[in-house]
A and B are shown apart, each in its own frame.
Chain A
Amino acid sequence: MDYKSKNLVAERKRRKKLGDRLLNLRALVPRITNMKKETIIEDAINYIQELQENVKFLTGKLQLLEVEPFSEEEANPKREETNTVEDMKKCGIQENVEVSYMSGNKVQIKIIFEKKRGKFTKLLEAITSHGFQLSDTSMTSSKGATLVSFFAEVTYDGTLAVEETRKSLLQIVRSM
């Protein structure tokens, strides 16, 4: 008898859950024709289709609007970039690479460079192509400078030389 009642309770809960959710669904849909369970699903399907078409239509309109004015967009990025370099100089931040040896193959690397669009991506490209495997990465930027900090496992042969790593990374940063 205990199993029966547990099952009953569970089944009742399940049905109630479905019923409640159906009511919530009905609350969202603006046009409801009937109060029956089946029709609420029908109405919801229609409403979703309507919304989807609406989104399509609006994004189309947005694309059309997008075509036109380009002039302002180009002006802005340049202004931002000149600001960053100036900021960095003001705060005395310089491009830098620090490499600290952790344990085993791991080193912690910190890189500071000037914040410019696309530099981070280039840095990542260069780092990975040189054989570094990043395990935890963090990047922040303020005052026109970007700080990238990550742990890396050095994969090239030979003993790990911290200074060598540092130098090669510095080269990378400067060439960006």
Chain B
Amino acid sequence: MEINHSKMYEEPGCFDPNNFTAEGAGSGFPQAVQKQFEENMDLSVDELSYHHHTHQEDAAVSAMELELQKHLAFKVENCDNNTHMLQQVVDDPNQLLSYDHANWNTGDIGFNQDDPEQNGHRSFNINSLPQTPDLLNLFHLPSSSLLPNSSISFANSNHDTTSLGFIKDLPASHSTSVLYDPLFHLNLPPQSPLFSELFQSIPQGYSLPTSRGGASSLFGDERDSSGVTAYQDGDGGMLEFTRDMACIVRRSETGKKKKPFTTERQRREQWNDKFEALRNMVPSPTKSDRASIVGDAIEYIKELLRTVNEIKLLAERKRCVRERSKRHKTEDDAGEDVKNCNIWPLGDPEQSYIGSLRSSWLQRKSKDTEVDVRIIDDEVTIKLFQRKKIDCLLFVSKVLEELKLDLHHVAGGQIGDYYSFLFNTKICEGSSLYAGAIANKVIEVMDREYAAVPPTISY
């Protein structure tokens, strides 16, 4: 960062260089940087006091801001005892930024000016703090290079008096950043030259891009700091907005325009659409909240895998039977055909599928009916739950006959408003019935019967 040192020292300031000691360096900042800090603070303080800018100075300021935002600590406040403006920032409760207290050593926030050493020391703890408080510094800087009132035009924002106006409808999330103009209430004169300098590379009508590659601080290009985060005190919640804004400069400067800009809203909508699409693929969705949708999807995928295995196994068996029957026909022994084919499930060394046990399970729900079909080898267990009163036993047993399932055991009856039945059946040999077919057929018949019965008074 090129800093015009000579310019900096021109300004006499209320800044008291005595407050700066070398202690800060002990926190790990390189000496050079620390020196820069002092210089930066010089100038920034001066700006606040004097509101005097030349264009060149602005450039210098903007350049320094890059440093400031990253590294600068409370020192500014500490040294600004006499700065009227800063006090105004500090004292006005409505505009005071509150932030995550946990990240700070307590007591820092109060802008105590009584112990510059102590504060100075603490202020350099920022480096060890997580990113968020790091950039909170921004808001305590008398930074004129932050967004001046309504100088920024965002494609999506209202041109309110508050630059926060557009933030309100954005969701809060951890990975977002906020642009906040801490000084706007101070009614500083618009500093357009500075601003245009900063955003010179942004094309007109630039909409808020979505940050994909991580954010950079608004004014920094090489900074790896995260976006600016601020917390507004009044409502106790976080007003955040994507760090997209922070990417504006970076994006345009690096010339990356891979994707069309997706605003946060669009991103959210796209994501919700995906959830909806997932939900529509699942056969019997119940709740429509995200976690349930994902849960249903997981179960459905498992069911599909089971079905695939089942059908493959059935196909293998079928094919084996056919081949055996072909082979036996050449032997010209029709009577033995049947008997031999009966034995094949047990000891056929050729097909690996045959030896494995067929198992399958799935559930299907419709509006009034719920069916659970489990198949192990040739035994099918069907559980049925129905809400309304119709004579389901008769219909189901008809269906089972159609499907060529031997009914071995039935148990069930009425429980409250529901009918509940359990059917134990066996698949007759050679039938290649799979679980899905059974369930679908049962549900189909049930629904048909419900539709056929006019609504009756249950008794």
Q: Which residues of A contact B (CB under 8 A)?
A: 14, 17-18, 21-22, 24-25, 28-29, 37-38, 41-42, 44-45, 47-49, 51-52, 54-55, 58-59, 61-62, 65-66, 68-69, 71-73, 75-77, 117-118, 120-121, 124-125, 128, 134-141
Contacts and interface: CB of A to CB of B under 8 A. Distances in A.
Interface stretch (B13-21, B32-40, B314-322, B353-361): B314-322
Contacts of A62: 311, 314-315, 318, 432, 434
Interface string B362-379: 000000000000000000
B291 A21 contact: yes
Contacts of A125: 394
A124 B429 contact: no
A38 B401 CA distance: 47
B67 interface: no
B261 interface: no
B294 A18 contact: yes
Interface of B: 270-271, 274-275, 277-278, 281, 290-291, 294-295, 297-298, 300-302, 304-305, 307-308, 311-312, 314-315, 318-319, 321-322, 325, 337-338, 341-342, 391, 393-394, 397-398, 401, 406-414, 421, 428-432, 434, 436
B322 A65 contact: yes
A17 B287 CA distance: 15
B430 A76 contact: yes
Q: Is the interface of A mostly helix, strand, loop or mixed?
A: helix
A61 B391 CA distance: 36
A73 B429 contact: yes
B281 A49 contact: yes
Given A59-B434, A69-B321, A137-B411, 7 more contacts: A21-B298, A28-B298, A48-B304, A61-B315, A68-B322, A76-B342, A136-B413
17 contacts: A22-B294, A41-B274, A44-B278, A45-B274, A51-B304, A51-B308, A62-B318, A62-B432, A65-B319, A66-B318, A69-B321, A69-B322, A72-B429, A72-B430, A118-B401, A137-B410, A137-B421
Contact of B271 (A24, A38, A48): A38
Contacts of A44: 278, 297, 301
Given A22-B294, A120-B397, A138-B411, A58 B429 contact: no
A137 B271 CA distance: 50
A25 B290 CA distance: 13
B307 to A, nearest CB: 5
Nearest to B412: A137
Given A28-B302, A72-B430, A76-B429, A42 B311 contact: no
B308 A55 contact: yes
A38 B271 CA distance: 6
A25 B410 CA distance: 37
A73 B277 contact: no
